[in-house]
Amino acid sequence: MNRRRLLAALGAGVAGLAGCSGSSSTNATREAFTLSPTPTPQRGQVGSVEIPVPRSELDQPLPRDAIPAIVDPVFAEDWSGLTVPDSSPYDGGPLLPADAPVLGVEREGADRAYPLRVLDWHEVVNDTFAGPLLVTYCPLCGSGVTAERRVDGEETVFGVSGRLWRDDLVMYDRATESLWSQILGAAIRGPRAGERLSLVPSSLTSWGEWQDTHPETRVLLPPPRSNTVSGRDATYDYFTPKYTYEGDQLIGRTGGARGQPAERRFVVGVERDGQARAYPFDVVVEEGVVNDRVGDLPVVVTTTPGDTLVAYDRRVEGSTLRFETDDAAHLRAGGSRWERATGRAVDGPHEGRRLDSATDTGPMFWKGWRNFHPDTSIYDEESD
């Protein structure tokens, strides 16, 4: 697989992104409808954000549920049993190729993959996987966030509100009609304003790499196999990716390669003790492995064999390890070799231990990280 292909493909500008259609700075119209009944919002603060978010900051390029959330997901071992519509320009090959991006989730010893070929069209999946699970993706920010599907402790269904806040997906919940920021993982307006979702770790990776590290995984099937809020009549083309593959295309530091804007440069961000730092994909690739500290959190940042950015807490059993490159699939520290893709030690004194993730949201476009962390530092601009 071409170095950089997965993340370059994700950032490769695709005309007419289905999800999060439009941009608040270009073609979005202001909020078109009000919640019913109109709640008395709670006031407070989530991180640096004052809650509730002013109505004037919300844009509404689409009506509610115009992007239909998946409410009855169906899974299989792969996509081999699917039928390609006659109208699709699909030209052969695997229906879900190895380099297709997916969000991967592990829960209670089981694994599931959610292809971006589906999430790009539907943005929200209401799943039941070791409990109620919410899987979300915003194509404008390149951000995948997974969480427990509960509001005020009660299971509920989430949908796509059609609104944007800071150019990011805004969801609503059926139980209270509150509005939720996807990246923030918190309600920004409505009866539950200020409440935060309980986030669940996930990985933005390739289908092939996820299968290699999770051989028993199941994968989400697109509609009409899976059901949406609008029924089983979806006509989207899930078999022809909306990403433009151009070999070793890079997301540029000051401007995108071959015309790609710097806003779509992929970063993984870490926030701790009021500090935030972004680690750009191309910089991490160049260094191989980054040992750093954000606030009081020692982190290690690297890329996986499938060209995915990962950031881990490098504390193990009370000691802070310093990692070095071992090979394309492993790092080395503390006398053990550690899988880049999973953070698991495969030999040595730490065999079987697993590093904790240093971030809840995973890699995303620089635009998405910056919009929610305006005071963030960037690793290569002020670090060794």
Q: Is 294 within the bounds of a domain? A: yes
CATH number at residue 319: 2.102.10.10
> How much is the average pLDDT of 190-195?
95
pLDDT of residue 286: 92
Dihedral sign from CA coordinates of 332, 333, 335, 341: negative
Which SS3 state, helix, strand or coil, does residue 276 take?
strand
Could you tell me the two tokens for 274? 């009021």
Could you give the 3-state DSSP secondary structure of residue 136? strand
Whether 239 is in a domain gets the answer no
pLDDT the model gives residue 246: 34
Q: Please tell me whether residues 179 and 304 are part of one structural domain.
A: no
* pLDDT score of 15: 35
pLDDT of the residue at 248: 31
pLDDT at 21: 54
Looking at per-residue pLDDT, the higher value among 271 and 37 belongs to 271
The reply to whether 176 and 272 lie within a common domain is no
Query: Are residues 175 and 287 located together in one domain of the fold?
Result: no
Parent domain of 274: 257-382
Clarify whether residues 187 and 306 are in a common domain.
no
Residues 261 and 223 in one domain: no
For residue 190 the two structure tokens come to 């409505």
The per-residue DSSP string of 75-103 comes to EES-STT----TT----SS-SS-TT-EEE
Q: What is the pLDDT of residues 278-288, one digit of tens each?
A: 999 989 999 99
Residue 34 has pLDDT above 90, yes or no: no
Last residue of a domain, one of 228, 248, 268: 228
Tens digit of each residue's pLDDT (9 = 90 or more) over 96-133: 999 889 999 999 999 999 999 999 999 999 999 999 99
3-state secondary structure of 18: coil
pTM for the structure as a whole:
0.86
Q: What is the mean pLDDT of residues 239-268?
A: 53
Domain match, 305 and 183 both: no
Is the residue at 91 inside a domain?
A: no
Number of structural domains the chain divides into: 2
Q: Which residue would you say has higher pLDDT here, 241 or 115?
A: 115
190-219 mean pLDDT: 95
- For residue 230, what pLDDT band results from cuts at 50, 70 and 90? confident
Report if residue 235 sits inside a domain. no
Q: Confidence band (pLDDT; 50, 70, 90) for 236?
A: confident
Q: What are the C-alpha distances in Å from 302 to residues 64, 74, 231, 285?
A: 39, 33, 41, 7
- Backbone conformation region of residue 131, classed left if phi is above 0, alpha if psi is from -120 to 50, else beta: left
Q: Is the pLDDT of residue 46 over 50?
A: yes
Domain identity same for 175 and 51: yes
**Are 133 and 261 part of one and the same domain?**
no
> Does some domain include residue 305?
yes
Query: With bands split at pLDDT 50, 70 and 90, how would you rate the model's confidence at 20?
Result: low
Q: What is the pLDDT of residues 256-277, one digit of tens each?
A: 343 444 788 889 999 999 999 9
For 95, the token pair is 């229906």
> Who's near 318: CB < 8 A, 6+ residues apart?
none
Residues 6+ apart with CB under 8 A from 106: 201, 214
Q: Band the pLDDT of 242: cuts 50, 70, 90.
A: low
Q: Check residue 249 and give its pLDDT.
A: 28
CB-based burial label for 382 (10 Å; 0-12, 13-18, 19+): exposed
Co-location of 18 and 157 in the same domain = yes
Range with the poorest average pLDDT among 21-35, 141-155, 338-352 = 21-35
- The residue out of 191, 210, 228 marking a domain boundary is 228
Is the confidence at residue 56, as pLDDT, over 80?
yes
- Does residue 63 lie in a domain region? yes
- Whether 144 is in a domain gets the answer yes
Task: Tell whether 361 is covered by a domain.
Answer: yes
Instruction: Give the contacts of 240 (CB within 8 A, at least 6 positions apart).
Output: 88, 89, 90
